[in-house]
A = this chain, B = another copy of it.
């Protein structure tokens, strides 16, 4: 019996199965710095302990997406090592702040299984919970991936497709943000005057800047997240694969687009939920990421007069500025769209 993990195949999953993922990870100031240096995030709450303390955090909270990627990374060896594609995310909520020194672990439950008609692959749906060292949930999300079958002749399971919310309800946002001392929130330090009230549904924002990604950068980031997906790291194997290239972790694009969104959403300091996310095309090293966002909804958060929520769809592109707000319906440039991310952010009111 081999001692190496070759990853799970479609047959290895069953409905209600629970997986405790390996390698808990303590996140520290080292992670804050490296995450910042890889993506260039500038939200003041994550950048400055003094700013975070002034508005009511006991210490500066870790960037929500650093938390997401850390939890996600743990699931890869069990869930997606044999994945062909990461198909989607839903019902992702950030439940509790994570601080320097916290240790994160992850647990997943299989909530859906559906063999594809080709008999070679199937879709696996898991609900993953990120936990801190006290066993408290800090993050929860559903993702679904297409996974290879070990044996094409093995029988198909009864199909179960979970009923997933189109979006997280505003009622369920905000638990990762302590009550804020609004008077201490200095928009000058935060980088822009625009608070929740200043945004309108339908508004579109070009985040202007573009950032080129290098092989060393996306591999370093994925390793920081302990994400072991082979396609990101092994040029020897990928040279013989679909693209001939290493594929950049989709989460890298999410984090880069989020960092770019600072220019236009500087006070949207907290990702409160991810409603859905689609990696519509792969990104390779040398590509330049741009992003633009549309405000698709605006909601009060029950019980909170300090923060309000905006629902945002951020579109990330490669080698295509966001100036004209390009979409996948956009003819020639449809293939330049690499990410559509639908999420809620919290801003001070």
Please report A residues at the B interface, Cβ cutoff 8 Å: 2-6, 20, 22-26, 28-34, 36-40, 42-44, 47-51, 60, 77, 101, 103, 105, 133, 188-192, 194, 198-199, 205-212, 214-217, 219-221, 223-224, 226, 228, 230, 233-237, 246, 263-266, 286, 288, 290, 319, 321
Contact A220 B38 (CB under 8 A): yes
Instruction: With a 10 A CB-CB cut-off, give which of A29, A47, A191 has the most chain B CB atoms.
Output: A29
Closest to A27 in B: B33
- A292 vs chain B, min Cβ distance (A): 10
Contacts of A223 in B (CB 8 A): 36-40
Question: Which residues of chain B come closer than 8 Å to A191, judged between CB atoms?
Answer: 5, 22-23, 77
Count of chain copies: 3
Pair B215/A228 contact, Cβ less than 8 Å: no
Q: Are B5 and A26 in contact (CB under 8 A)?
A: no
Chain B positions within 8 Å of A208 at CB level: 4, 6
Contacts of A212 in B (CB 8 A): 215, 219, 233-236, 246
A48 B33 Cβ-Cβ under 8 A: no
Given contacts A32-B28, A223-B40, contact A50 B103 (CB under 8 A): yes
A286-B235 contact, Cβ under 8 Å, with A30-B30, A38-B223, A220-B37: yes
Minimum CB–CB distance for A115 against chain B, Å: 26
